[in-house]
Amino acid sequence: MPKVKVESKSELSQKEAFVRIKALLENDADLQKMDSSCKFTFDDAGQTGKGKGSKFSAEMKVSAAGTGSNVMIEIDLPLMLTPIKGMVQSTLEKKLQKALA
């Protein structure tokens, strides 16, 4: 399975970045359109999350980085979605930048 890995650094605290990314993953209409069956589970204490749908699976982690934070999202796509891997990655990068701004 092809993997898409997106990382973003933020000046937000680890906790604030986690809250924003959690809200993005739970509520973003564009992400829901990609796979409406996707459900996310989050570990607030560990600042991590997992998503599972019919078309992909994903893992998310927010970690402290100095006074800010680092967000990492890794998505496993099925082989048939390999041609849109770049689009998925660029869409996710834009959404992360907006959420963490």
- What CATH number corresponds to the domain at position 33? 3.30.530.20
The confidence score (pLDDT) of residue 32 equals 78
Specify the number of domains making up the chain.
1
Average pLDDT of span 55-81: 90
Band of the pLDDT at 6, cuts 50, 70, 90? very high
Could you list the residue range(s) of the whole structural domain that residue 47 is in? Answer: 3-100
- Given a cut of 80, whether residue 34 has pLDDT beyond it is no
Percent of the chain's residues with pLDDT above 70: 100
Backbone angles phi, psi at 78, to 5 degrees: -70, 160
- Given a cut of 90, whether residue 56 has pLDDT beyond it is no
10 Å CB burial of residue 40 (0-12, 13-18, 19+) is: middle
Average pLDDT of span 23-36: 83
Q: Going by C-beta distance under 8 Å and a sequence separation of 6 or more, which residues neighbour residue 39?
A: 51, 52, 53
The confidence score (pLDDT) of residue 62 equals 95
